[in-house]
Amino acid sequence: MAAKVEIYTWRFCPFCIRAKALLDRKGVAYSEYAIDGDRGARAAMSERADGRSTLPQIFIDNAGIGGCDELHALERSGRLDALLVA
């Protein structure tokens, strides 16, 4: 069974695009929340992300893993695949 993956983005954010591209290359299904200009949604995301307000914010099985750099670091270290399996 696949893990639940969620990503908060802005449509033209290069880091968001890069993070989604990695997930797409791996064939990972994810829910995307495009929060462009929505202050309320960004505040809710930040609360969920332990105060982090940068985009993207990525959650795997409701655990915040951070953003694009953290996602790619997990991939480079070989730990991402294990997180993606529920």
Q: What is the CATH number of the domain that holds 67?
A: 3.40.30.10
The pLDDT of residue 86 is above 80: no
> How many domains are there within the chain?
1
Q: What is the mean pLDDT of residues 35-43?
A: 96
Average pLDDT, the chain: 96
Give CA–CA dist 73/31, Å, rounded: 21
Which letter does DSSP use for residue 37 in this model? T
- 6 pLDDT band, cuts 50/70/90, is very high
At residue 31, what is the residue type?
A: S
Give CA–CA dist 71/66, Å, rounded: 7
Residue 1 confidence (pLDDT): 79
* Parent domain of 69: 5-83
